[in-house]
Amino acid sequence: MEWDLKELKDKVLHVHGKPAYSNLSPCLNSIFERQEFARYHYHEAKTFMEGYMDDSYPDMELVRLVFSGSGSHREQLEDNKFRARAHIVGCVQSLHSISDILGHVVYYSLNLSQASTERDISLLKVRKWVGANRQYKRITDGLDELISHQGYQYLVALANYSKHRSIISLNFNFNLRPSTTAMRELVFPSFTYDGTFFPATSVYQFLESEFSRESKLVFEIGNEINRLLV
């Protein structure tokens, strides 16, 4: 799926004028930069851990290394885990930022005026404002699909917990049954945020799934904005 950003910028300039165009342009650039940042951090994290996550590393050696290992091999594992964790945190933060920036893109593209200050613009408020206009129903539906999903709710909790309380750690998920692949899995441990309990979650499965889901919705919402501006 494609989203013609030049078309959107040109339409906003034509329909709403230079101030809206000037506000929109850096937001559009940033939403795709954040997607690329998230993708970069994700692949870098996998690179640092792939030697321990594929079949070339014996199962029981990995168990011993994690639970009782020492020396240079253990130090290398911990160093790679640290680097992977840094990239995973960066991926989570960039992925979380995409939806926030999307709120600004919608606001400036439609030339909304409800915010008293720029700090007043948020995705939830923008969803409320566009929801009051039936002309924007497909945008509202797209935003609802984005923010109501359990993956988004988990992402928000994970990002805010790591930002304001403590950085979520990474654990190996060990399963000694040879018929499963769960043994070679990095997981976010369970945590509680704002009174809600979130169970342990596979790191890579979650990031892949939520990145794909959000990217699809961003493009759909963006194309609907392009369609509306005439």
pLDDT band at 186 (very low <50, low <70, confident <90, very high): confident
Distance CA 41, CA 53 (A): 17
Q: Is the pTM of this model over 0.75?
A: yes
Distance CA 50, CA 38 (A): 18
Distance CA 206, CA 196 (A): 18
Residue keyed to tokens 């988990």:
154
Quick: pLDDT tens for 74-132.
Answer: 677 778 888 989 999 999 999 999 999 999 999 999 999 999 888 899 999 999 999 99
Quick: pLDDT tens for 201-215.
Answer: 999 999 999 999 999
Per DSSP, the three-state class of 193 is strand
CA distances from 69 to 27, 75, 80 (A): 47, 9, 15
- Pairing relationship of beta strands 201-202 and 196-198 according to DSSP bridges: unpaired
Distance CA 96, CA 214 (A): 10
